[in-house]
Amino acid sequence: MKQIEDTFFELAKTCDRNCLVICDRGLMDASAYLEKEDWARMKTDNNWSEIDIRDNRYNQIIHMVSAANGAEAFYTLDGHKTRHEGMEMARTLDKITAEAWVGHPYYDVIDNSTGFESKVTRMISRVCERLGIDAGDRLSENSVKRKFLVRAMGDMSKFPQNQDFAVQHDYLVTPSRKMQARIRKRGQKGIWTYTHTIRRPEIDKQSVEVRMAISKRDYEILFAQKDEKHYSIHKHRICFLWNNQYFHLDEYVEPCPDRCKGLILLETYTTLQGEDLKLPEFLEVEKEVTGNPSYSMFNLSLKDEMGRNMSDISMYNGEDD
């Protein structure tokens, strides 16, 4: 582990721009999985100072508390080839691992007092604080996604600096109507990124969503599982900052279902309520559609009448990407 880390640390030093190295584990984690005698011998053999490798090697420590401690309904071994601990053992190891880092000058523990999405947001917020990055209110715990229907794009010359992308979404066949899976490709200047998202049935009133970056080959394999009850959704996406607020503007483009022709949606994450949120003046915003199932991408993509009748499809409301 140390040799791998050292390699990345040295590579980072060669960058002529700011570079952030994120380690999934740290050296002190080993002390939770080794007998005390083995850990002591390892430190002696490598001439390690425990204080030095704990306090000086890493600029910040984030301990994400195991789901086994406070979110038991979500603890699972599925999809984790290297995880084999039962619930009690997972709690024990989590406690020992957390204690191993006590004393680090910048140590944050992210517990399970909130839902998973909020947990991840809290973690990212701590990293931004440590880096001195002002993330605005997007990373606040009570930040929500708000969505607005835009009547027209407006004068593009009035747009602030922005980045635009071509985006394609496709829904996949799933074994249950309560499960949702989709793939996305997002590209700019011929360079594409691919994402696979699975939203599982609710547990304790929380929707569990797993989002993974995938390769082009994986994308093509998954595309063969496309759900023919849905159209492919194509968007022209523009991302920009306005008044320290991050927005993305999605213009639905052909080929697309008739209901999507001319559709433009503006989205942002914010804690601001009602008119406290100042929308871009250069856009003609018609109305807010946050939580309106008629503007859910899942429903917009449906081929049959279900896409027009939104009376009983709340299970499909959620985060579109």
pLDDT tens column, 124-164 = 988 988 887 777 777 776 778 899 999 988 777 888 888 88
Q: For residues 199 and 219, what is the distance between their CA atoms, to the nearest angstrom?
A: 17
For the chain, the average pLDDT equals: 86
Q: Give the least confident one: 60-69, 111-120, 218-227, 285-294.
A: 111-120
**What structural domains and CATH numbers belong to the chain?**
2-131 (no CATH), 144-316 (2.40.320.10)
What pLDDT score was predicted for residue 297? 93
Residue with tokens 């304790």: 204
Residue 18 CB neighbour total at 10 angstroms: 7
Is the pLDDT at 42 greater than 90, yes or no? yes
Which residue(s) pair with 250 in the sheet? 237, 265
- This prediction's pTM: 0.68
What pLDDT score was predicted for residue 78? 65
Gyration radius of the chain's alpha carbons: 23
What pLDDT score was predicted for residue 103? 78
Is the pLDDT at 80 greater than 80, yes or no? no
Query: What's the rounded mean pLDDT across residues 72-101?
Result: 79
What pLDDT score was predicted for residue 167? 94
- Structure tokens of 315? 């299970």
DSSP one-letter string for 38-83: HHHHHHHHTT--HHHHHHTS-S-EEEE--TTTT-GGG---TT-TT-
pLDDT digits (tens, 9 = 90+) for 229-275: 999 999 999 998 887 688 899 999 999 999 999 999 999 988 788 77
| CB-CB contact of 171 with 230 (8 Å) | yes
What pLDDT score was predicted for residue 77? 65
In percent, the amount of the chain with pLDDT more than 90 equals 43
Q: For residues 260 and 309, what is the distance between their CA atoms, to the nearest angstrom?
A: 15
What pLDDT score was predicted for residue 311? 40
What pLDDT score was predicted for residue 262? 93
What pLDDT score was predicted for residue 7? 94
Instruction: Give 243's contacts (C-beta < 8 A, 6+ positions apart).
Output: 278
60 confidence band (pLDDT: 50, 70, 90): very high
What pLDDT score was predicted for residue 316? 46
306 confidence band (pLDDT: 50, 70, 90): low
314 confidence band (pLDDT: 50, 70, 90): very low
What pLDDT score was predicted for residue 302? 94
In percent, the amount of the chain with pLDDT more than 70 equals 90
Q: For residues 33 and 92, what is the distance between their CA atoms, to the nearest angstrom?
A: 11
Query: What's the rounded mean pLDDT across residues 51-61?
Result: 88
What pLDDT score was predicted for residue 228? 95
